[in-house]
Structure 1
Amino acid sequence: MSIWKKIATGMTVASLASTMAACSLGGLLPAKDSGTGTTSVEITFANWISAEDATKEVYSELIADFEQKHPNIKVKPFGVPFNRFKNEVLANSTGGNPPDVIIANQNFSAAFVGSKMAEPLEGLLGPDIINDIVDRSKAGVTYAGKVMAMPLSPHPYALFWNKTLFKKAGLDPEKPPKTWDEMIAMAKQIAALGKDDKGNSIYGIGESSATDLFTGNMLLRTALSYGANFVDDKGNVVYDQGTGLKDSLAYMKDMINNRVSPKGADAKDLRGMFANGTLGMVVDDEFGRTVFRTTSGKGASFDREWGVTLMPIGKTGRSETVFTEHQLIISHESKHKEAAAGFVKYLVSKDAMLIYHQTNGMMSARKSIATLPEMNEDDYAKVFNEQMKTASLLPAANPKFENAMKESADMIVLITDGGKSPEETIATVMPKIKEMYK
């Protein structure tokens, strides 16, 4: 029996037993027309969203709405913590216990597709949905000419700033930085405040520096502002060509070693610091608002204390950033592909997107939905839709990309704790990354 049943978030022993019994019969119960038939089926949905405080309630609402609209399909969500998600899904799927629907982020999808876990989606979802995918998102889910995942939502990273700390540091709380140099200068001015009245250190900006995948992605985001690219048009690694990566590492060394940015912090740490008022600026996606409201304990009233703006203009002369993406995969081994397709169609529908957007600010990867007035109703939504115009897709089509990003995160440790220069760091790590891509 699949360990999805053992790690399901919030499930009781009784409900677990019920689920296991249903799964044992699942292969005998045919799905019909994505919910239009009369036979009852159960599909499993592997995700990390239902395991996170900021999003689990909205996913419960979405699943309930889907089941009401499709009374012959039941959805069993199994929440797995994000840092274990890819390995758990791979292990269960290759071990004969695949979920019917998998939520993935861009870093994971290539591994799932490469492991033959994904079903091509053109026939299951139909041309009306496939042709409605935003072009850059569609390119990221197309493998050998086939759409292997359905983009759920793009997540461009923009700059949040704390208005209270700006004011305390003598900065205009209504004027965030427009250029990269302004951002650095403001961050140092805020860090000079030292500590708050509770003795907590105040930092000017939060750059991820934990040795994890997210740090690698954020280093790439910084490198784009300095003019670097990770791969060329043919997929060859060019990260160390030019001065972009070197300049990015020099920036990280300056920020961390001079205590402008905290050392060793991961995404969760940075979000917590921004929410408790000890971080002047942080780069985050559109989930930030919900996370900050929840973590601060102040709810929507916390919105008065911060703002969000486009990433400052760097060496390239434009606002550079990356966007990650939540994507939906239907398992190649699913016994209920039509029912699974019905659930995927619902999750990317206008009704579901509006629910998710209203609660979490989520954007849509469908052209017809992204442009709706309801998806652009306030300045917050407009900033992220504007940021998408210059956001670069993470080049994650190679299954080795995730490992490469983890290796590149080690460069920050080498320049901060190891005392290496940017040139020495690049010479140490880049050969490993290039060897992966061979």
Structure 2
Amino acid sequence: MPKIRTKMIHFFSYNENTAQRYSRNHEHKGGGVNMKKWNKMAMGVTALSLMTALAACGSNSSPASNTASNTNSTKESAAPQSTTDKPVEISFANWISVEDGTKEAYNQLIAEFEKANPSIKVKSIGIPFAQFKDQVLVSSAGGNPPDVTMSNQNFTPAFVGANVAAPAQDLLNAEIINDIVDASKAGVTFDGKVMAMPWAPHPSALFWNKNLYTKAGLDPEKPPTTWDEMIQNAKKIAALGKDENGTPIYGIGETGASDSYTGNMLLRISYSFGGKFVDDQGNIVYDQGTALKESLLYMKDLIDNKVSPQGAAMADLRPMFATGALGMLVDGDFGRTNFRNMSGKGAEFDKEWGVTTVPVSKTGKSETFFTEHQLIVTAGSEKQEAAAKFVEYLVSKEAMGIYHKLNGVMSARKSISELPEMNEDDYSRIFNTQMKTASPLPSKNPKFDNAMKNSTDMIVMVTEGGKSPDEAIATVMPKIKELYKK
């Protein structure tokens, strides 16, 4: 592997609110297992402010023009011009460099980019996902934006609303913009402009543990095809009680932590019951019909009967699945790499699990959503030409080949997603099939991420607070609707 010349800065933004959120997200309140044992994080309090950290990131950067260059008329391989022999240094805010499952892919991508583009060096700003949106917004407002930032469908509306994002369509090759998968392109288009570059869509599918299926008397090669069958299988697995080491076994993992991802997953469940969050005019209709109520009853049933652990974050559920304590889990296409690493068994662990499309429910089809890694060239960057070059590389055939090989991710570009090497096995084919029925998150409103966080209060009220679904909905939904009015 070429020598990697990427400098990395990892930091936490720590305050009392962060500590309280972390405690709520990770402290299990009953249900047979303490969730802290599944996911321990050492929270260090940095002595430097976020502004100082990010200012330091740019202190060694070469001066560059702050004029955005439209590269639509240039080829992807054209290198940005430099007025000095010193390489241009661009900063890249991301979370994949600080996550164990994606570190290797990140390192290879940066090494290959710098090898092919010696006039550009990439400085990584590695930020844990839970703090990512707030830290990018704060640093950008303080005049120290990264040159390129990762994003997703929850974050991009906030970045666009805060003028952090420069229009991608003005900076990237038109051939690339026109190659974006339609559903992904719609998700990054604001007021008629493509503001972010979709990188890797992550449709969620159902993983199942074959060993636990066998122990529960189920056919290990026959995953559930309907919602009711999935619940029945989950209860049979949970009935196993504990493993030989006394570790509780759960049938399926549904998130219950107070974070926006849990809100996304509750919305995903409501899709299976025929629900939706907003109508075509952007009005909130989440509380109309019975879908949200049925979703909360589903969560209450699972947690009350210890079929799913209470108060779990996705960071808790993944290692549980990888260590044989969880029978089923709805997760994204990066699951294979995560489970291989967390199990300690590598590719051998593939023999112990399978993946299939999410079982059908009321709508008669496999309902799920796709989250998506996206890339933004920031409006405040003084090196937009080099930043655009970096983004074009990350979504190229070569880069996606690396990312797919190491993490199984899909591509948001039509021409790349159809390549044989992106559909080389059953795993890839399942996720490409799931992508056909997956819905983009309805996240155009900048307050969507906050709305998803608030919606998790309904789960807590129903599963821990003794409230009925109707009471929880009546309490929380007016707050979400008011949030959207602001």
> What pairs with 1:219-298 in structure 2 (closer than 5 Å)?
219-298=266-345
CA distance in 2: counterparts of 1:85 and 1:410, whole angstroms: 22
> What pairs with 1:159-238 in structure 2 (closer than 5 Å)?
159-238=206-285
RMSD: 1.9
Give 1:123 shift: 2.3
CA distance in 2: counterparts of 1:21 and 1:279, whole angstroms: 43
Give the letter for the 1:188 counterpart: K
> What pairs with 1:344-355 in structure 2 (closer than 5 Å)?
344-355=391-402
Identity of aligned residues (%): 65
Aligned to 2:164: 117
Aligned to 2:136: 89
Give the letter for the 1:37 counterpart: Q
CA distance in 1: counterparts of 2:100 and 2:290, whole angstroms: 41
Aligned to 1:35: 79
**SS of residue paired to 2:329:** strand
Give the letter for the 1:65 counterpart: E
Check whether the contact 2:10–2:98 (CA below 8 A) recurs between aligned residues.
no
Alpha-carbon displacement from aligned partner over 1:230-256 (angstroms, at most 9, x marks no partner): 000111000011111111111110001
CA distance in 1: counterparts of 2:180 and 2:422, whole angstroms: 16
TM-score, normalising length from structure 2? 0.85
**SS of residue paired to 2:198:** strand
Whether 2:198 is the aligned partner of 1:151: answer yes
Whether 2:109 is the aligned partner of 1:74: answer no
Give 1:70 shift: 0.6
Q: Which has the higher helix share?
A: 1
> 1:202 and 1:22, CA in 2 relative to 1: closer, same or farther beyond 3 A?
closer
Give the letter for the 1:169 counterpart: A
Aligned pair count reads 428
Give 1:335 shift: 0.7
Check whether the contact 2:95–2:132 (CA below 8 A) recurs between aligned residues.
yes
> 1:307 and 1:21, CA in 2 relative to 1: closer, same or farther beyond 3 A?
closer
Check whether the contact 1:179–1:314 (CA below 8 A) recurs between aligned residues.
yes
Give the letter for the 1:379 counterpart: D
Check whether the contact 2:235–2:307 (CA below 8 A) recurs between aligned residues.
yes
> 1:164 and 1:21, CA in 2 relative to 1: closer, same or farther beyond 3 A?
closer
- Runs of 4+ in structure 1 off by over 4 angstroms are 19-22, 30-34
| Structure 1 range deviating more: 118-127 or 138-147 | 118-127
CA distance in 2: counterparts of 1:362 and 1:343, whole angstroms: 19
Check whether the contact 2:321–2:327 (CA below 8 A) recurs between aligned residues.
yes
CA distance in 2: counterparts of 1:73 and 1:125, whole angstroms: 17
CA distance in 1: counterparts of 2:11 and 2:286, whole angstroms: 39
Give the letter for the 2:407 counterpart: N
**SS of residue paired to 2:221:** coil
**SS of residue paired to 1:161:** strand
Give 1:35 shift: 2.6
Give 1:437 shift: 1.4
Give 1:126 shift: 2.2
> 1:275 and 1:21, CA in 2 relative to 1: closer, same or farther beyond 3 A?
closer
Any unmatched runs of 5+ in structure 1?
A: 9-16
Aligned to 2:59: 24
Aligned to 2:423: 376
**SS of residue paired to 2:263:** helix
Aligned to 1:7: 11
Check whether the contact 1:293–1:303 (CA below 8 A) recurs between aligned residues.
yes
Aligned to 2:461: 414
Whether 2:337 is the aligned partner of 1:333: answer no
CA distance in 1: counterparts of 2:60 and 2:207, whole angstroms: 49
